[in-house]
Structure 1
């Protein structure tokens, strides 16, 4: 994994690195490897992860095909965590 530092902006490079590591699952892997996991527990966990993946793909496929309603979009929040005002035309 490689991140370039532009204009001596180390903070931004760190943010990019953390995001890349998050996407790759490095933090999840570190957390999982903190303690020993018995092989039987590992098998159960991996099967559960596979089931969740399959269900997620099936749900996405059903939404695409119109069998399930699409989820409502989450409201965008400002810095204080409050919903932003809608930007559309105001009703008269």
Structure 2
């Protein structure tokens, strides 16, 4: 549960902090994903694509650290 404290009646600042926390936790992405039903096969395909994307990103970072790129 996310808790945001409103200080000095500054609601705008509290909203910005809330949005930032929700963004970091992935809540917005989750809400967008759950807006419509996702078939199990589509879910598996999406998860596999995400895993491939993460692996490629990790590989790129590793290559860059080693000075190959």
TM-score (norm 2): 0.89
1:73 maps to: none
Shift of 1:60: 1.2
CA–CA distance in structure 2, aligned partners of residues 34 and 48 of structure 1: 20
Greater helix fraction, Structure 1 or Structure 2: 2
SS at match of 2:38: coil
2:59 maps to: 58
What is the number of equivalent residue pairs in this alignment?
68
| CA-to-aligned-CA distance 1:4-47 (integer Å, 9 cap, x gap) | 22222110110011011111111111111111111011000000
Specify every segment of 5 or more residues in structure 1 that has no aligned partner in the other structure, as ranges: 69-92
TM-score (norm 1): 0.69
2:12 maps to: 11
CA–CA distance in structure 2, aligned partners of residues 7 and 65 of structure 1: 50
Specify every segment of 5 or more residues in structure 2 that has no aligned partner in the other structure, as ranges: none
Query: Deviating runs (4+, > 6 A) in structure 1?
Result: none
